[in-house]
Amino acid sequence: MRTIDEHLREQLLAPEYHTGVRLSPDGQSVAVIRTTARGPEIVLDDRLLAAEHDQTVTDLRWAADGSALYYRRALRGTEKWQLVRLEPGGAAEVVPAAGPVAEFWTAGDRVAFAAGGVLHVSAPGREPDQVSADRYHRWLVDRELRPRGGIRLQPDGGLHLVVDGAVRLALGPDDSTTFAVVGFAADGRTVYLLSAHDAPTRRLLALECATGRQHTVFAHPDLDVEGYPIGGPGVWCDPRTGEPDICQTVGQRPQLHGLGRPTPVFAVGPDEAMLLLDRSTDDSTWLTVRVRSDGPIRYELVAPDTGATRPLLVNRPGLAGRRLPRLDDLHVTAGDGVCLHGYAMRPLDTTGPLPTVVIVHGGPAGRDYFRFHALAQYVAALGFQSLHVNYRGSRGFGTAFRRAGDGEWGGRMQQDLYDAIADGARQGLVDPDRVALLGASYGGYAALLAACTRPDLVRCAVAFSPPCDLAALVGDTPAYWRPLAATLHRHILGDHPADADWLRGRSPRHLLSPDAAPMLIAHGARDPRVPVAQAEDFVAAADRAAAPVTYLRLDGEGHHVTTTQSRRVLFRRIEEFLEVHLVHDHRTAAPAPAIAVHP
């Protein structure tokens, strides 16, 4: 196994240095979240404005008039969000809110925000005013911050969209997960929506508020309109009119589509993609990002009329100029003939079959993207190939493909991963005797299930924050998921009744045996989505069943592992684990400790 040089190791384990990049309304300044070893910092044009160490920071945005920045913060891992107003001079205040802030909007120097299902509007130096007695799961707010309605979840997992007091759209559980509100036109008469209701793909709709009439603004025949992890929902509106003028789909690469205007064209290389992130109020300056799979992503300012470009910054400056492997496109024919798409990364300068780590994305209605994948780079630096499969149920590839995952936790979705391994072996890329699964959340569930049920195929499994017991998840949904419990149950069960025996038959917790492949589980003690008690119950059950398990509890983390310190501990353990179980014969290896606690 290849040894990673320490500089590369540190750069891959560190979080992205620059994230959340935002262009000021006048196009003259750029704000960014800079992540240091101590934690996040808010920086404006290279000037430190605020240090938010031991916090998670998200949703950095400008006030519409450029007078301040707003962002949400929460004690790392807790997801109990506060709203912070930060002036360019550095003065900061927490906007008073009775509960976690779920969403917010700006107009002028004011901000509207939803906390505890209630909508408030605040201006600098004033206590927030409650502007509506209604309660919604998600609010509908126009460009003047007027409450116009919202989304009400239904007991069956569907939703009602209420606009100006009338239900204008009723969606069942099959369609609610693809629904999103883009925003209002400047005159407030039209609201733009994303939905796959009664359509083969997720499309952009315009809904007339007064009548409820709707029409399709844009639809792709095969792909959904969707965003990208560092961007918005995949629709951009003219900042002067609020009318959508650019949409995005994501197949193997993101693609922009002009609506009533020429499709934006950027000069891109063969192994990169260009994304649009932000636009100035007069639309004379665009913030774009150039994405690569073999190096840092690069933020640039572009003048759309002339094409003139000014480089800004990169997300991982410590890796600039370094030769690294790339993601190659992966196409797999599943056992039942369905075509699956994804990516593969091989270590530099390698040929022939390789030990392989299947990195399973979460969601499960997430997906893998063409991007710089630090975890895949780390795996490649260890000498392993990685596969990234958009198994059925993944988003972006149309309604039928997404719905094909309902009820297939542990079923067809799992088999898609196994089929990708078999296809890679047939192509001479995968060493079928040296395969591991690794994933977080749903991906962790899939990894553990493979270890428990297919030790003939999988040598070992690594799981971050995995749900381990579907019967418990359906029968006693954690508080975090209860507002969306019906939707979650639909994903897990499909049309199958909630039969405990059937659920246990697809749950790693109830499939443990001494024959299971070795498992490494890491879990954040602050995780609100999958409580850490579930992981510890799994570890205790594995001990009783004499199943080989190593457990790493990360006391300062939540559902995601975010700090450099925790990542160093975790990935050192992964490196040792894969060395023992994927390179050497795991049957002769000394047993690992059952529990390790990282304070």
Based on the domain organization, do 399 and 538 belong to the same domain? yes
Burial of 246 (0-12, 13-18, 19+ CB in 10 A): buried
What are the tens digits of pLDDT across the range 182-209?
999 999 999 999 999 999 999 999 999 9
What are the tens digits of pLDDT across the range 346-368?
999 999 999 999 999 998 789 99
Q: Could you tell me the pLDDT band of residue 598, with boundaries at 50, 70 and 90? A: very low
Residue 299 domain-assigned?
no
Based on the domain organization, do 390 and 524 belong to the same domain? yes
Q: What is the pLDDT of residue 134?
A: 86
Q: Give the integer Cα–Cα distance in Å for 175 and 390.
A: 20
Residues above pLDDT 70, as percent of the chain: 96
Helix H or strand E encompassing 414: helix 412-426
- Kindly provide the residue ranges of all beta strands, DSSP E only, lying in 197-271, ordered along the sequence: 203-208, 214-218, 235-237, 244-250, 254-258
Based on the domain organization, do 355 and 250 belong to the same domain? no
Based on the domain organization, do 367 and 439 belong to the same domain? yes
- The answer to whether residues 191 and 148 touch, using CB atoms and an 8 Å cutoff, is yes
Based on the domain organization, do 378 and 519 belong to the same domain? yes
Radius of gyration (Cα) for the chain, nearest Å?
A: 24
Domain boundary (229, 264, 299) is at 264
Among 73-82, 230-239, 426-435, 583-592, name the one with the lowest average pLDDT.
Answer: 583-592
Residue 564 domain-assigned?
yes
Dihedral pair phi/psi, residue 485, rounded to 5°: -60, -45
Task: Say whether pLDDT at 96 is over 60.
Answer: yes
Based on the domain organization, do 368 and 489 belong to the same domain? yes
Measuring CA to CA, which residue among 584, 466, 564, 598 is closest to residue 519? 466
- The answer to whether residues 563 and 16 touch, using CB atoms and an 8 Å cutoff, is no
Measure the N-to-C terminal CA separation of the chain; round to a whole number of Å. 30
Taking residues 142-171, report their average pLDDT. 94
Q: Give the integer Cα–Cα distance in Å for 435 and 583.
A: 10
Among 128-132, 379-383, 518-522, name the one with the lowest average pLDDT.
Answer: 128-132
Residue 555 domain-assigned?
yes
Domain boundary (264, 287, 316) is at 264
Based on the domain organization, do 229 and 331 belong to the same domain? no
Among 91-100, 269-278, 303-312, 473-482, name the one with the lowest average pLDDT.
Answer: 473-482
Taking residues 220-247, report their average pLDDT. 93
- The answer to whether residues 345 and 313 touch, using CB atoms and an 8 Å cutoff, is no
pTM, rounded to two decimals = 0.91
Q: Could you tell me the pLDDT band of residue 591, with boundaries at 50, 70 and 90? A: very low
Residue 72 domain-assigned?
no
Task: Say whether pLDDT at 452 is over 70.
Answer: yes
> Domain holding 503: CATH number?
3.40.50.1820
Residue 66 domain-assigned?
no
Q: What is the pLDDT of residue 481?
A: 66
Degrees (nearest 5) of the Cα angle 531, 536, 538? 105
Residue 212 domain-assigned?
yes
Domain that holds residue 183: 146-264
Task: Say whether pLDDT at 595 is over 50.
Answer: no
Q: What is the pLDDT of residue 498?
A: 83
Task: Say whether pLDDT at 589 is over 50.
Answer: no
Based on the domain organization, do 558 and 459 belong to the same domain? yes
Give the DSSP letter of residue 593.
P
Based on the domain organization, do 260 and 394 belong to the same domain? no
Residue 523 domain-assigned?
yes
Residue 191 domain-assigned?
yes
Based on the domain organization, do 494 and 571 belong to the same domain? yes
What are the tens digits of pLDDT across the range 512-565?
999 999 999 999 988 888 889 999 999 999 999 999 999 999 988 888 887 778
Compute CA distances 83 → 1, 61, 346, whole Å: 47, 11, 42
Mean of per-residue pLDDT scores for the chain? 91
Task: Say whether pLDDT at 1 is over 70.
Answer: no
Based on the domain organization, do 257 and 163 belong to the same domain? yes
Pairwise pLDDT comparison (234 vs 593), residue with the higher score: 234
* Residue 13 Cα to chain centre, angstroms: 18
Domain boundary (231, 246, 264) is at 264
**What angle, rounded to 10 degrees, do the helices at 6-13 and 564-578 form?**
120
> Structurally, how many domains does the chain consist of?
2
Based on the domain organization, do 390 and 250 belong to the same domain? no
What are the tens digits of pLDDT across the range 14-57?
889 999 999 999 999 999 999 998 899 999 999 999 999 989 99
Task: Say whether pLDDT at 407 is over 60.
Answer: yes
Taking residues 494-519, report their average pLDDT. 93
